């Protein structure tokens, strides 16, 4: 999968500029995982962020 993307669709200059600023280290880390492990990491991160957000809300 995703060995090499086929023809990429046109994206505007703003998106291209933002893409150049994306931290590639994180992408390389994600690519080092298996697809289902990527999914688990993504769900786990979302849960952690939600817990942080909820904790912040409770402080108010």
Partner 1 sequence: MPSPTNADVGALVRRLVDAGVEFIVVGGAAAVLHGAPITTEDLDIVHRRTPENVSRLKNVLEELDAYVRELANRRLAPQESALLGEGHVLVSTRLGPLDCLGTLVDGRGFEDLLSHSESIEDEGSEFRVVDLSTLIDIKTKTGRAKDRLMLPVLVALAEELEGSKD
Interacting residues toward partner 1 by CB under 8 A: 1-11, 15-16, 18-22, 24, 26-31, 34-40, 42-43, 45-47, 49-51
Could you tell me the smallest distance in angstroms from the CB atom of residue 6 to partner 1?
5
For the range 31-39, what are the long-range contacts, defined as Cβ-Cβ under 8 Å and sequence gap of 24 or more? 35/1
Answer for the pair 41, 33: CB distance below 8 angstroms, yes or no.
yes
Nearer to partner 1, 36 or 55 (CB): 36
Beta-carbon contacts of residue 33 (< 8 Å; ≥ 6 apart): 41
Could you tell me the smallest distance in angstroms from the CB atom of residue 59 to partner 1?
20
């Amino acid at each position: 999968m995703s060995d090499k993307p086929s023809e990429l669709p046109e994206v505007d200059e703003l998106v291209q500029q933002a893409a150049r600023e994306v931290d590639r280290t994180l992408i390389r880390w994600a690519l080092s995982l298996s697809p289902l492990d990527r999914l688990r990491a993504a769900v786990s991160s979302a849960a952690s962020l939600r817990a942080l957000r909820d904790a912040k809300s409770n402080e108010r």
